[in-house]
Chain A
Amino acid sequence: MIVVERVSKYYGARRAVADLSFEIREGECVGFLGLNGAGKSTTLRLLSCLLLPTSGSIRVRGLDVVSSPHEIRKLIGYLPDTPPLYPEMTVSEYLEFAGRLRGLSGADLDKRRARVSGLCSLDAVARSPISQLSHGYRQRVGIAQAIIHGPSLLILDEPIQGLDPVQIVEMRNMIGELRGEHTILLSTHILTEIEATCDRILVMHEGRIAAQGTEEELSAKLRADRALVLEVRGSAEALRGALAGLPELRELRIDAQGPEIVRASLRVDDALRERVSSSVVNAGLGLLSMHTESSGLEAVFLELSRHAGSASSSTPDAAPEPANQVAP
């Protein structure tokens, strides 16, 4: 449904996203995960035709965002990080306005408004001015405006931001209900949330996609991305000889560190680590140190896990899963 090719976006001289390429299939629920400032919101703004890319191309159902934004906007419902609400309007008036902007009118409009009001549990506040609503209700009105016209593509930027534990569970259920009807893209910096809601995860870091895949694929990638680093007293040749008996080694790199000291970096399955150390020692070399080094992806996850940890400690009901489920 969406094809993004080599897209970059600059705000003045500052680069927000760089060289993004990915595809989203029809009916998928995809989560953009990343720290604040990773480029998630910018990516979603580009996909919703709010901003145009500095370079590269974005096509939604074959339509280009630069040449046919008008047609693409008909397909899209978008909830920005701050819901775009007019405080002086009532919920019902606001939904009518949002529906009319998207081309609904007459009986269609009434039907859709009643449906999204029910789906987002807004019936009780339909006649209340938006200025009097709580944060949770505002967020729901924000989602209701995004789905009022039954868009094929629903883009939600941080939909659970600022919600309390009960509201987070409700929001998660609501997104669950919407999954069948729409292709959904959502962003969050809370790891547990994205695991609970999405089919596929795109991890963003410093404006780039650090990794993508299902939760299991990412876990595997995370393990594979870990490098084992050895510091050994001996020569590079001797070390290479000692490790030659382990065919499962990948990306072996050996650098001289000083007189008679070499540093080796390699990738190997966790289970084989013990054999690496014994091979070095049995070859008569001095094993000075051995440790694993995190990749960029793991750094992102560690940071996210820390966030999830603090979120789950403050919201124990909503996030009972272990915070670092993805990490091995």
Chain B
Amino acid sequence: MPKATFRIWRSEGQGSGEFKDYSTEITEGMVVLDAVHQIQAESANDLAVRWNCKAGKCGSCSAEVNGMPKLMCMTRLNTLPLENPVLIEPMQAFPTIRDLVTDVSSNFEHKKRIKAFKPKKPEADGTWRMAQADVDRVQEFRKCIECFLCQDVCHVLRDHHLHDEFVGPRFLVHAAALEMHPLDTEDRTADLKKLHGIGYCNVTKCCTKVCPEGITITDNAIIPLKERVADEFYDPIKKLIQLVVRKR
């Protein structure tokens, strides 16, 4: 069996750590997560890694493979140049807890602050009617598996560490799913501007590029939300009327 080398970040948190090389056997069809598990079983029992479904459905095994944000369970080894060591690092936008495991708790905090779904009244028979076409639009956003790779590449979070001021692409998608939900009656526009920091996004589309679910994050979710915020807060005609009304 051929072998390959994996250069894995080992760390006990607090920013310190080092790369260690591990060599393991490669078989047909293997993905990066398989290699990590094999190494864990053979020579590094305490190598910390998150995973669950191993089928790209749960979004647990996010990491950076050769510098690219990826789900390790969906990254086939035959797509990587194995003549060089495969570099595996934790997501860089989040503090490392240990090895490949990062502290993603900020994401769960963001979600709590986004106003919950508030449906309109059902019809007389107690159910709702919705057209598939209206549902389609939101179903795209609801495909999100919360892998947080979009958060990982967002420069507002990754380079500027503005986790407290900006919810990031994942939660703009979440807000869009709620705002565009055919039954929802809540208004989140003011929150998007003030609380969730939508203005920080300058539409570089890095998030869209890395989304393993292929959600068109920027064009379909963030830009329409930005338009809503602009309509509400930056509409010149509305501003003018407000000014006149206030003067009187």
A and B interact physically? no
Partner-A contacts on B (CB < 8 A): none
